Amino acid sequence: MSAPPKKAFPLRLDPALYAAIERSAAGDLRSVNGQVEYLLREALAKRGIKVAVSAKPKRGRPPVSSVEQGDE
């Protein structure tokens, strides 16, 4: 099961603003895209706007069924 696709759109930023976001992202061990999303969610929360969080995809291998193990 995969996560729903994210909405892509072009975003033009001042180079100094991008550099600041890039530094902030590196400090938080996030990508620039992830940092922009985090900052937007944080700003919306401060304004009292709730944003539903999409379900994250499950990580790891799926459980092995008894048929796959050969226990018929």
* Domain annotation covers residue 71: no
Query: For residue 68, what pLDDT band results from cuts at 50, 70 and 90?
Result: low
**Vertex 48: Cα angle to 5 and 37 (nearest 5):** 30
- For residue 68, being part of any structural domain is answered with no
| pLDDT for residue 8 is more than 70 | yes
| Residue 48 located in a structural domain | yes
Q: What is the mean pLDDT of residues 8-36?
A: 97
d(CA 28, CA 38): 10
Tell whether 62 is covered by a domain: no
pTM (predicted TM-score): 0.68
C-alpha separations of 56 from 37, 53, 66 in Å:
15, 9, 27
Is residue 65 assigned to a domain?
no
Is the residue at 50 inside a domain? yes
pLDDT per residue as tens digits for the range 45-59: 999 999 887 777 777
Q: How many domains does the chain have?
A: 1
With respect to residue 67, please indicate whether it lies within any of the assigned structural domains. no
Question: What integer is the mean pLDDT of 21-49?
Answer: 96
* Separation in Å, CA 64 to CA 55, 59, 69: 23, 15, 7
Range of the domain at 19: 15-54
